[in-house]
Amino acid sequence: MVSNTRKKTSFSRLRNINQPKYITVKENQNNQPMSVLVGTNWRKITKINDYWEISDEWWGDFPISRKYYSLTIDNDIRISIFIDLTNGSWYQQKAHL
């Protein structure tokens, strides 16, 4: 059992987790990712494991339209990236290191 600290909880203590971060991607002629810039090094994509598209909240002020890729880059590192189809920017969602 956890003791009661009698501290009030508030929403100001909430924080976002797994926020996507901007990433630089080189694409092939079919607009699929070929390599990603990790730190200061370009990493070749050795396998596209899966891809899917999400379109949501199209009725609101900030629609979501993204194409996600689950990738393997050199040294068997798995990452998830997506392209924001509304502005063409690439983001890394999650690393499986």
pLDDT tens, position by position, 50-68: 999 999 887 888 888 999 9
The phi and psi torsions of 76 (rounded to 5 degrees) equal 60, 35
- Hey, how many other C-beta atoms are within 10 angstroms of the C-beta on 91? 17
Report, as an integer, the average pLDDT of 8-24: 76
**What is the reported pLDDT for 45?**
95
Report, as an integer, the average pLDDT of 14-43: 89
pTM, rounded to two decimals: 0.75
Asked if the model's pLDDT at residue 97 lies above 60, the reply is: no
Helix, strand, coil content of the chain in percent (nearest 5): 5, 55, 40
